[in-house]
Chain A
Amino acid sequence: MTNGILGKGRLVFLDGGMGTQLQERGLRPGETPELWNLSRPDDIRAVHSAYLAAGADIVYANTFGANAAKYHADAPLADVVSAGVALAREAVHAAGGKRFVALDVGPTGRLLKPAGDFEFDAAYDAFAEEVRLGAEAGADLVVIETMGDAYELKAAVLAAKENSSLPVLATVALGEDGKLLTGADVECVAAILEGLHVDALGLNCGFGPDKMLPFVKRLAAATSLPIAVKPNAGLPKVEGGKTIFTVGPDEFAADVIELVKAGASIVGGCCGTTPAHIRKVVESLGEWGMGERGNSSFAHSRTVVCSGSCVVEISTDDAIIIGERINPTGKKKLKAALSEGDVAYVLREAVSQAEAGAHVLDVNVGVPGLDEPALLDSTIQAVQSVTALPLQIDTSDPKALERALRHYNGKALVNSVNGKEESMSSVLPLVAKYGGAVVALTLDENGIPPTAEGRLAIAKRILARGAEYGLKPSDFVIDVLCLAVSADANSANVILEALRRVRAELGCCTCLGVSNISFGLPARPLLNASLYTMALGAGLSAGIINPLASDMMTAYRAYRALTGKDRTCCEWIDLFKDWTPDVRRPTSGVRQPSSGGQQPESGATGSRLSDAIRHGLKADAAVAAREELASGVAPLDVIDTGIVPALEVVGRGFESGSVFLPQLLMAAEAAGAAFDVVRTALPSRDGASVRGPIIVATVKGDIHDIGKNICRALLENYGFKVIDLGRDVPPEKIVETARREKARLIGLSALMTTTVCFMEETVRLVHENLPDCKVTVGGAVLTADYAAKIGADHYSKDAMGLVRYAETMFPAKMV
Chain B
Amino acid sequence: MTIDEREICRYLRLQGRAPGAALEERITVMREQALKAIRPARVWRRFDDPFVVGGADSKTLKRHLAECHAAYLVCTTIGAEFDTLQRRTAATSPADAFVLQAIGAAAIEEWTDETEREIRRELKEGETLVSRYSPGYGDWPLEAQRRLFELLDAPRKVGVSLTDSLLMVPSKSVSAIIGVKTEVPQ
Contacts and interface: CB of A to CB of B under 8 A. Distances in A.
B38 to A, nearest CB: 11
Given A110-B161, A182-B80, A666-B26, 7 more contacts: A110-B155, A615-B22, A662-B14, A666-B22, A702-B165, A713-B94, A754-B167
Contact of A111 (B80, B93, B166): B80
Contact of B163 (A179, A388, A663, A703): A703
A350 interface: yes
Interface stretch (B55-63, B81-89, B106-114, B126-134): B81-89
Contact of A107 (B17, B92, B142, B156): B156
B140 interface: no
A439 to B, nearest CB: 26
A668 B83 CA distance: 24
Contact of A386 (B15, B45, B88, B169): B88
A660 B12 contact: yes
Interface string A380-395: 0000011110000000
Interface stretch (A520-528, A627-635, A704-712, A783-791): A704-712
Contact of A754 (B87, B92, B166): B166
Interface in B141-186: 142, 147, 150-153, 155-156, 159, 161-167, 169-171
Interface string A215-252: 00000000000000000000000101100000000000
Contacts of A110: 155, 161-162
Contacts of B81: 182-183, 309
Contact of B94 (A118, A175, A386, A710): A710
23 contacts: A29-B152, A30-B147, A109-B155, A110-B155, A111-B161, A115-B84, A118-B163, A146-B156, A181-B80, A238-B45, A309-B84, A351-B88, A387-B88, A616-B23, A660-B15, A662-B95, A663-B20, A665-B98, A669-B94, A703-B169, A706-B94, A706-B97, A713-B95
Contacts of A327: none
Contacts of B19: 662
Interface in A748-796: 752-755
B47 A241 contact: yes
B130 to A, nearest CB: 17
A177 interface: yes
Interface in B1-55: 12-15, 17, 19-20, 22-23, 26, 39, 41, 44-47
A713 B23 CA distance: 17
Contacts of A603: none
Nearest to B155: A109
Contacts of B44: 238
Nearest to B17: A660
**Which size class do A's interface residues fall under?**
35 or more
A616 B26 CA distance: 10
B76 interface: no
A710 B96 CA distance: 11
B97 to A, nearest CB: 6
A241 B46 contact: yes
Given A109-B156, A110-B155, A712-B94, A661 B12 contact: yes
A386 B91 contact: yes
Nearest to B93: A669
Contacts of A668: 94-95
A716 to B, nearest CB: 10
A388 B84 contact: yes
Interface of A: 29-30, 107, 109-111, 114-118, 146, 148, 175, 177, 179, 181-183, 238, 240-241, 309, 344, 347-348, 350-352, 354-355, 385-388, 615-617, 660-663, 665-666, 668-669, 701-706, 709-710, 712-713, 752-755
Given A177-B39, A660-B14, A704 B92 contact: no
Contacts of A662: 12, 14, 19, 23, 26, 95, 98-99, 102
Which residue, of A387, A666, A668, has the highest number of chain B Cβ atoms within 10 A?
Answer: A666
B43 to A, nearest CB: 8
A352 B169 contact: no
Contacts of B95: 616, 662, 665-666, 668-669, 713
Contact of A706 (B22, B23, B101): B101
Nearest to B12: A662
B23 to A, nearest CB: 6
A754 B165 CA distance: 6
B80 A183 contact: yes
A175 B39 contact: yes
Given A30-B150, A183-B81, A663-B23, A344 B91 contact: yes
A116 B163 contact: yes
A703 B171 CA distance: 9
B92 A706 contact: no
Given A240-B122, A386-B88, A712-B94, A116 B22 contact: no
Which residue, of A111, A348, A710, has the highest number of chain B Cβ atoms within 10 A?
Answer: A111
For the complex of A and B, list the 10 residue pairs with the smallest distance between their C-beta atoms, beginning with the closest. A241-B46, A665-B95, A181-B159, A109-B155, A117-B163, A713-B94, A347-B91, A116-B169, A701-B165, A30-B151
B87 A114 contact: yes
Nearest to A705: B90
A638 to B, nearest CB: 22
B169 A241 contact: no
A705 B14 CA distance: 21
